[in-house]
Amino acid sequence: MTTWLDTVAGIVGPRHLITDPDTLAAACLDWRGRYRGRAQAIARPGSTAEVAALVRACVAAGAPIVPQGGNTSHCGAATPDDSGRALIIQLHRMQALRAVDADNNTLTAEAGCTLAQVQDAAAGVGRLFPLSLASEGSCQIGGNLATNAGGVAVLRYGPMRELTLGLEAVLPDGSVLDSLSGLRKNNTGYDLKQLLIGAEGTLGIITAATLKLFPAPEATATALVEVSNPADALALLHALQARFGDRLTAFELISGLCLQLLARHLPDARPPFMPPWCVLLELNDGGSEAVLNQALAEALCALRPQADAVLARHARERAQLWTLREQISEAQKRDGPSIKHDIAVPLSQLAGFIERADAALQQAFPACRVVCFGHVGDGNLHYNVSYTRPGNVDLFDDEPAVNALVYDLVYAHGGTLSAEHGIGQLKRDWLRRYLPPANLAAMRAVKQALDPLGLMNPGKVL
């Protein structure tokens, strides 16, 4: 008798249907090791037609579908629930670059390309694809789209939503939404691609996208600069933006505790100094790098004459400075578990938020410490809480109370509980608490219209 999994094997080929327990277990565990689910199998399709056929097979069998890219989600978004019924659909065989149109400043990539592959393809034709995350070697374009990923260059170029011109996706009924287009102007009804972007795989499986490219900068200047506190960091941000405009492409806040964790756990990432706070900033421009470096050095001497600062002299030093920023998540992971918050508040509220949240947490949970860093130029902070006692005893017992304290303050400051990581399963209940009822109802109506059987990544977002 033919089973449902035989049908799946017939679609992708037996080699690309995975049921071995070790590979399944790895796919059912999230990057942070917080969520462990179960699934029937993994299918690895090689084309959009195969994805569509898989979705139709899942609908016929009533099997939940979990799209999975690089599995680097910070909120358990790509981890199946523990029903053991899901089919995980991994996209990494779909890595074709369908078109690179340098004259149109666009590139069309399949969803399984890693972000690094897309960056390299753009560089290969003298262009820049500016999305940049510490996970770029393993996260995939499909995952970046499904999470509306942000990263370190949002300040200048915007998140994935702003970098996407066209999209192809398989909808929950197995039909193919074809909005692949390199047009910058196209007013033909609802912008359906934006529904899929940021939907975390709950409205369909993204199979390809047409992405915006930009001129590759000829010159880059990078500096690590001491600041006295977050308010001082914002004053420096505004002063640099007044001087350099959108040539300032990155502005990252790093707390002293982050530097200590790096020094403790990652000997290769050596901070050049240990201030209470610092910022890592970058300028991009045309023309000569020496001239840009000189302009940045003069600006920093004028704006922060007393501050410790390191200006990268060449590409290797630039990479070393970025390693500090990019390895913070890893250093924190090695230090032990933490309660992660990926919040944003308006820039005008940011310093006040940190001050009030730090004080309130200290009072309510005297053993806590906050690892605070992030894309401060966008008002986005990774505001992570752990305990100082060995093994972080009781940390997760206190998680609901810690979250309530932090999120209440975030919303009191006009902010959001997810700036870029998304909702996944980690923040689903909190979304219900903070999103206005009419917004939640509209989201549920969209979900019901597109996925009436509720098979697409169940238990995530809503």
Ligand X SMILES: Cc1cc2nc3c(=O)[nH]c(=O)nc-3n(C[C@H](O)[C@H](O)[C@H](O)COP(=O)(O)OP(=O)(O)OC[C@H]3O[C@@H](n4cnc5c(N)ncnc54)[C@H](O)[C@@H]3O)c2cc1C
Per-residue burial over 300-339, b = 16 or more CB atoms within 10 Å of its CB, e = otherwise: beeebeebebbbbeeeeebebbbbbbbbbbebbeebebbb
| Contact pick of 31, 244, 277, 322 for ligand X (by CB under 6 A) | 31
- Identify which range of 56-64, 68-76, 254-262, 276-284 contacts ligand X by CB under 6 A: 68-76
- Rule CB under 6 A: which of 78-107 touch ligand X? 78, 91
**By C-beta, is 320 or 329 nearer to ligand X?**
329
User: Judged by CB under 6 A, does residue 420 bind ligand X?
Assistant: yes
Stretch that binds ligand X, among 37-45, 144-152, 174-182, 288-296 (CB under 6 A): 144-152
Distance CA 292, CA 357 (A): 38
Binding mask 194-223 for ligand X (x = CB under 6 A): ------xx---xx-----------------
Minimum distance from CB of 175 to ligand X (Å)? 15
Cα distances from 388 to residues 91, 190, 348, 367, 393, in angstroms, run: 40, 50, 31, 6, 9
Segment interacting with ligand X (CB under 6 A) among 97-105, 139-147, 259-267, 355-363: 139-147
Q: Report the C-alpha gap between 267 and 173 in whole angstroms.
A: 50
Pairing of strands 342-344, 277-285: unpaired
Instruction: Say whether residue 179 binds ligand X (CB under 6 A).
Output: no
Our CB check for ligand X shows the closer of 78 and 455 to be: 78
77 or 259: CB nearest ligand X? 77
CA-CA distance, 389 to 93, in Å (whole number)? 44
Residue pair 138/126 in contact (Cβ under 8 Å)? The answer is no
In SS3 terms, 264-278 reads as HHCCCCCCCCCCCEE
Number of chain positions touching ligand X (CB under 6 A): 36
Q: Is 252 in the site for ligand X (CB under 6 A)?
A: no
| Residue 110 or 226 having the CB closest to ligand X | 110
The full length of the chain comes to: 462
Our finding on whether 43 is near ligand X (CB under 6 A) is: no
Nearest-CB residue to ligand X? Answer: 143
Q: b/e string for 82-116 if b means 16 or more Cβ within 10 A?
A: eeebbbbbbbbebbebeebeeeebbbbbbbbbbbe
Residue with tokens 């970098």: 163
Which stretches of the chain bind ligand X, using CB under 6 A? 31, 66-74, 77-78, 91, 111, 133-135, 139-140, 142-144, 146-147, 149-151, 200-201, 205-206, 329, 420-421, 457, 460
